[in-house]
Amino acid sequence: MIILLGIVAGIITTSSFIPQLVKSWRTRHTKDLSLPMYLTLDLGIILWFLYGILTNDLPVLLANGVAFILSTTIIILKIRYK
């Protein structure tokens, strides 16, 4: 049950990136997004991912692996649509 709770929590928090990603992709407007915030967030996500590896914590690994992909995609769009 604890692992299931972690997976559900990871799905909910990680999916929060999707609306911003879709909006940025569709409008090609990223002026109001903070690049330093997303870079800092990506660093934190990488550290959480490493923590998940070291503790063999599947929910942490999954959530942060996907979050890194989504957040990094937003960073790429921010740079590309500058």
Q: What is the pLDDT of residues 2-57, one digit of tens each?
A: 999 999 999 999 999 999 999 999 999 999 999 999 999 999 999 999 999 999 99
The topology under which CATH files domain 2-80 is Monooxygenase (1.20.1280)
pLDDT level of residue 75 (50, 70, 90 thresholds)? very high
In angstroms, the CA 58 to CA 37 distance is 26
DSSP secondary structure letters along 19-68: HHHHHHHHH---TTS-HHHHHHHHHHHHHHHHHHHHHT-HHHHHHHHHHH
State the average pLDDT over residues 69-82.
96
78 token code pair:
């921010």
Task: Give the pLDDT score at 70.
Answer: 97
73 has a pLDDT exceeding 90: yes
Which residue is it, tokens 């929910």? Answer: 59
82 has a pLDDT exceeding 90: no
